Amino acid sequence: MQEAFFNAWRAMHRYETRAAFTSWLHRIAVNVVLAKKRKPSIATDPSVEVEELEQSEWSIDTPVEEREIEAAIEALPEGARNVLMLSVVGYSHPETAERLGLAEGTCKAQLHRARQLLRARLLLQPA
C-alpha cells in the first residue's frame, strides 16, 4: 500500500478529472501488486527499510510496530500477499480474481490464509 500511495503522489500531476480519483488510485495499486508479482522475489537489506521507517513522519497507533506489520505482510506467500493487498485497497473477490487470473474461491481461500498467517505472526510477537 505504501508503494501505491507513493506512486500516486509522484503521479498526482498526471491525474485527469475525467476519471474518478478512486478508480485512478485503485489502478495504481493494482499495477504495484502486478509488478511485484512479475518480479522475482529477492531478499532485501532490512536495515535500509528500518532506517527509512525511522525517518518517516508516518505512524500507526497500534501495539505492533509498523515494521513488524510490513515484515509480516512481506513474509506471506506471494498469492496470499497479492490477494490481501487488493482486498485492502477495496477490491471485491470477483474483481481480485479477475485481476489476478484466479478463481474466486481461490481468492477467498488466499485471503483467509493471509489473515490467519498475519494474525498468528503478529499475536506471537513480544510486546
Quick check: 99 and 91 in contact, CB under 8 A?
yes
- pLDDT given for residue 111 in this prediction: 92
Domain ranges of the chain: 2-123
pLDDT of residue 104: 92
pTM above 0.95, yes or no: no
Task: Give percent of the chain with pLDDT exceeding 70.
Answer: 75
> Distance of alpha carbon 51 from its chain centroid, rounded?
20
State residue 43's pLDDT score: 46
Amino acid present at 29: A
CATH class of 2-123: mainly alpha
Query: Cα–chain-centroid distance for residue 30?
Result: 10
Written as tens digits, the pLDDT of the chain (127 aa) is: 788 877 788 877 777 777 787 777 888 888 888 877 776 554 444 444 555 545 555 444 555 566 777 888 888 898 898 898 888 888 889 988 888 888 999 999 999 999 999 888 877 654 4
CB atoms within 10 A of CB 30: 20
